Amino acid sequence: MIDIDATANALEAPPATQRMSYLDALVQAQLEELDRDPSVIMMGEDIAVYGGGKLVERFDERRIWSMPISETSFTGMAVGAAISGLRPIVDLTISSFMYLASDPIINQAAKLRFMTGGQVRVPAVFRCCMYYNASIAAQHSDRPYPMFMNVPGLKILCPTTPADIKGLLKSAVRDDDPVLIFEDTKLWPVKGEVPIGADHLVPIGKADIRRSGDDITIVAIGGAMRPALEAAEALEAEGVSAEIVDPRTLKPLDLETIIGSVRKTGRVLLVENAHLTAGATAEIAALIGEHGFESLRRPIRRLCAPDIHIPFSPALESQLFPDKDRILAAARALL
């Protein structure tokens, strides 16, 4: 005889999880997608060096393509592979290399579905890592996701947790449009509970409330999430309830979740590590002004990196990005 209550409870039980780092979750997602779909391939520079040793050991040269240092050429080849029926994951390593790959991404991958009246799809994923506060100087320290947000046809992801990098990467591989994933290397060692199994998907275009609150909304992007959560804990000790919103997807942006939080708190602090001018927070601020102005009790405030190139000097570089103390000071000024 079937125990209906027991069956219902089993169906409602949360998925089993395993504690792992952001980087390990990223590698697991790629392993699972390569196993699941023979059309998924991976290409890039130094794949084994940047956490991909397991991929190289598991799959042969038909699935893992080690490429020369020529980002423009192999990104273009990936677009061609996607058009031909494959689903490439392109590892561009350092995010500043996205500039070199931008021509095939912007002029081909982003436009081909539109220019062919929907006859051609480009199911490609372009991964890159944002290194900064690491003394690797101006040509290797950019956070260029805002410039790609301006391109129609691209989806832009910036996950901040191990569970989200796994779920969003898997969703990106299965998407029929080109997806750019910007991984913050400051998050690589961060550990968290990650659902086990190939069916863990996080929907593209859906934000997450990382911490509920009633007094102030803090929208944090990428590596700004860690100091934002630390600042929220400090504010709680002062009797202030901060709500932390993680967009996760920058394009398409989940404006509904952001506006819902603004209507609850009336105060907004937007934090990111990209440059101030025309950053993602500038777009979010404009949208809040258009769709949630009547809920604001105080002017919107942004914390970003200044509009300067990143210096090699650790002492100078460390002063450029929002940290816990700066977030705290900005939040207190809004209360």
- Catalytic positions, written as ranges: 140
Helix (H) or strand (E) holding 180: strand 179-184
Calpha distance 269→235 (Å, rounded): 13
Q: Quick check: helix, strand or coil at residue 182?
A: strand
Helix (H) or strand (E) holding 249: strand 249-251
Residues present in the chain in total: 335
DSSP characters for 129-177?
A: EE--SSS--GGG----HHHHHTSTT-EEE---SHHHHHHHHHHHHH-SS
- Nearest 5 degrees, angle CA 167-CA 186-CA 160? 30
**Contact call for residues 20 and 12 (beta carbons, < 8 A):** no
**Contact call for residues 167 and 202 (beta carbons, < 8 A):** yes
